[in-house]
């Protein structure tokens, strides 16, 4: 089918999946913004584009709704795995995917009806080094570093899981509000110490193996759930001694499980669901080509 799309979500974080070889338009920043627009397009938190890979079974490019490109997305990878199996591009239940943030391995959870209901993704090794994000601070590791943002004095832990994250903790028993996220999130995303911007998580330990997070995604804003954010916050919490692995990460959209090994290799497990498949109308395709 020409100009076909697939839509899925992981804990309310929804993506469109497209094969550029099947499109009659270039998947550039303007087209991405229009496709993701919830009033003038289909609406989504981003675009997943199938590509070829010489290093893995499949290749993937990930686009934020503002048209910028992301290195990695945990929810996006689960949705991409669902798409590959549902559209019969693979019949394997485990395969590798090359992203700009590295190669990952996906293992699908198939229910009795033959539908993908979840996935486990080996997300790679986390790094706390400034160059990995990047971050301009001249320190060995970004562990509880002071920063001023939105008129507040904060401490953050910087984590790269193939894409950049800035995790800010409150002590156990504390609470972050949505107002906090809407103030701190954009201020940290575009802070001068992060030359390529960053994702932001406001986190709180809520048990010996559990944390809660609010999420501000680079290029997307407030997000109900994020796999890479869950991974970053979980490994930061383990590094700081707040929790032990495996970590249950609770976000507004739902819960993910993140295993953190002693070398900070990360494995994320969570649900995924298909929403829709369809074909872009010729009128909309003309608008995308304009």
> How high is the pLDDT of residue 209?
98
Q: Backbone phi, then psi, for 123, in 5-degree steps? A: -85, -5
In the chain, what are the domain boundaries?
A: 4-121+272-289, 130-263
Which pLDDT value is given to residue 129?
A: 98
Cα-based distances in Å from 119 to 4, 39, 69, 80:
24, 30, 23, 10
pLDDT at residue 156, as a whole number: 98
Per-residue pLDDT at 128: 98
State whether the Cα torsion 254-110-19-50 is positive or negative: positive
Homologous superfamily of the 4-121+272-289 domain (CATH)? Diaminopimelate Epimerase; Chain A, domain 1 (3.10.310.10)
String of DSSP letters for 204-220:
EEEETTEEEEEEEETTT
Q: Which residues contact 179 (CB under 8 A, 6 or more apart)?
A: none
Pairing, β 199-207 against β 164-169: parallel
- Is the per-residue pLDDT at 173 higher than 80? no
pLDDT digits (tens, 9 = 90+) for 62-93: 999 999 999 999 999 999 999 999 999 999 99
Report the C-alpha gap between 74 and 86 in whole angstroms.
18
Q: Which of 196, 281, 275 is nearest to 6 (CA)?
A: 275
User: Region 49-55: what's the mean pLDDT?
Assistant: 97
Confidence of residue 171 (pLDDT cuts 50, 70, 90): confident
Smallest CA-to-CA distance from 253 within 14, 7, 8, 6 is with: 14
Q: Which residues contact 173 (CB under 8 A, 6 or more apart)?
A: none
Q: Same CATH fold, 130-263 and 4-121+272-289? A: yes
Query: How do beta strands 221-223 and 247-251 pair?
Result: unpaired
In angstroms, the Cα distances linking 176 to 153, 182, 193, 213, 251 are 15, 11, 23, 8, 12
Q: Cα separation of 114 and 96, whole Å?
A: 21
Q: How confident is the model at residue 289 (pLDDT cuts 50, 70, 90)?
A: very high
Q: What is the pLDDT of residue 172?
A: 73
Residue 1 has pLDDT above 90, yes or no: no
pLDDT digit string (tens) for 242-255? Answer: 999 999 999 999 99
Region 157-179 average pLDDT:
93
Would you identify the CATH topology of the domain 130-263? Diaminopimelate Epimerase; Chain A, domain 1 (3.10.310)
Residue 105: beta bridge partners?
Answer: 96, 122
Residue 185 sits at φ, ψ, to 5 deg, of: -55, -60
- 174 has pLDDT over 90: no
Determine the pLDDT at residue 25.
Answer: 96
Q: What's residue 138's pLDDT?
A: 96
């Amino acid at each position: 089918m020409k100009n076909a799309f697939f839509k899925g979500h992981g804990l309310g974080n929804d993506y469109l999946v497209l094969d550029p070889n099947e499109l009659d338009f270039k998947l550039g920043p303007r087209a991405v913004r229009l496709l993701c627009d919830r009033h003038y397009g289909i609406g989504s938190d981003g675009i997943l584009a199938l590509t070829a890979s010489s290093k893995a079974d499949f290749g993937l490019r990930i686009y934020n709704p503002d048209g910028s490109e992301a290195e990695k997305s945990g929810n996006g990878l689960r949705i991409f795995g669902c798409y590959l199996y549902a559209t019969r591009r693979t019949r394997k239940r485990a395969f590798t995917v090359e992203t700009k943030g590295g190669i990952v391995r996906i293992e699908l959870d198939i229910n009795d009806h033959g539908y993908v209901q979840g996935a486990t993704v080996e997300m790679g090794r986390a790094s706390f080094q400034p160059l990995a994000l990047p971050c301009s601070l001249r320190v060995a590791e970004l562990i509880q570093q002071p920063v001023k943002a939105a008129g507040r004095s904060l401490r953050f832990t910087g984590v790269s899981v193939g894409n950049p994250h800035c995790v800010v903790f409150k002590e156990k028993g504390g609470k972050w509000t949505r107002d906090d996220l809407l103030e701190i999130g954009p201020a940290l995303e575009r802070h001068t110490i992060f030359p390529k911007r960053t994702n932001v998580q406001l986190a709180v330990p809520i048990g010996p193996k559990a944390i809660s997070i609010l999420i501000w995604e680079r290029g997307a804003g407030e997000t109900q759930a994020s796999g890479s954010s869950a991974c970053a916050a979980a490994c930061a919490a383990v590094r700081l001694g707040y929790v032990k692995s495996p970590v249950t990460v609770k976000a507004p959209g739902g819960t993910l499980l993140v295993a953190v090994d002693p070398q900070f290799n990360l494995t994320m497990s969570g649900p995924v669901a298909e929403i829709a498949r369809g074909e872009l109308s010729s009128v909309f395709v003309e608008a995308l080509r304009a």
